[in-house]
Amino acid sequence: MNRNNTVWMNQLSWVDYQQRIQSEHPPVLLPVGALEQHGPHLPLGTDGLLASAVAADTAARVGGLVAPTLSYGYKSQPKCGGGQHFCGTTSVDAATLIGQVRDAVREFARHGLTKLVIVNGHYENQWFLIEGIDLGLRDARAADPACALQVMRLEYWDFMTPETLGDVFPDGFPGFALEHAAVLETSMMLHHHPSLVRMDLLPDDGPADFPPYDMYPPRTDWVPPSGVLSSAKGSDAAKGQLLADEVARRMAEAITTGFTRPAP
């Protein structure tokens, strides 16, 4: 296989990478995930695995590259990730995640990139990605006032249309926060990484019933013991493919239209 045809940045030599950046000006997609419990049936790395998979599918459509995934995310919250009390959930402070993204943005700018897409796969990361992008661009422009880098940030689930969600959830969509380790993620993992899914251990919890406030220290008894916030029953690979294809197509459209042309 010609490694120059790969979408994976870390499979290229620095010479091949530089040539593609300078001649093609491709978008580079940076997945960001978390190491977080996803019930007894999904792996701890689900958020990063899915962010990386949809990034690769999208990159193939737009001639882009996929950078190695940032695999540690912000602290798991009870109402959208089950919380920090599960063994295996391994999180970072906000400043750590901000610093990682800031440094990555600055480095990609130094490479001469004009288009960087940060693909978030962990609900809790959002605001810290925004801060990291802001600070990274500030650093890059201070070092080079002519810096042409633009950054797009997205959560891949936002590219699922109500029509498709209606097909996947004929009895009603419970909302993205409660879909932690439930039908969406399980179905997409069955499509992208079927060997990592244990359907024989599929729980039937939820949906969790959270009050309209938070408590600190967190009330772990609010969270189902499995860590799954809504039933994962009804998951299948066909639903996963339907979701994955829509996400990749619509992300590719956003990348194609969302960036202005690079400076000459």
Sign of CA dihedral 10, 11, 14, 20: negative
Per the domain annotation, does 215 fall within a domain? Answer: yes
Per the domain annotation, does 89 fall within a domain? Answer: yes
How many domains does the structure of the chain reveal?
1
* pLDDT on residue 2: 57
Per the domain annotation, does 46 fall within a domain? Answer: yes
pLDDT band at 5 (very low <50, low <70, confident <90, very high): confident
User: Tell me: the pLDDT tens digits for 121-150?
Assistant: 999 999 999 999 999 999 999 999 999 999
pLDDT band at 264 (very low <50, low <70, confident <90, very high): very low
**Quick check: is 253 catalytic?**
no
Residue 251 reports pLDDT greater than 90: yes
**Quick check: is 24 catalytic?**
no
Per the domain annotation, does 155 fall within a domain? Answer: yes
Range of the structural domain that residue 228 is part of: 3-257
Q: The whole model's pTM is what?
A: 0.95
User: Which of 41, 155, 179, 180 is flagged as catalytic?
Assistant: 180
**Quick check: is 131 catalytic?**
no
**Quick check: is 25 catalytic?**
no
**Quick check: is 163 catalytic?**
no
**Quick check: is 85 catalytic?**
no
User: Tell me: the pLDDT tens digits for 178-233?
Assistant: 999 999 999 999 999 999 999 999 988 768 999 999 999 999 999 999 999 999 99
Per the domain annotation, does 74 fall within a domain? Answer: yes
**Quick check: is 179 catalytic?**
no
* DSSP letter string, 159-223: G--HHHHHHH-TT----TGGGTTSHHHHHHHHHH-GGG--GGG----------SS--SS--GGGS
User: Which of 139, 155, 179, 185 is flagged as catalytic?
Assistant: 185
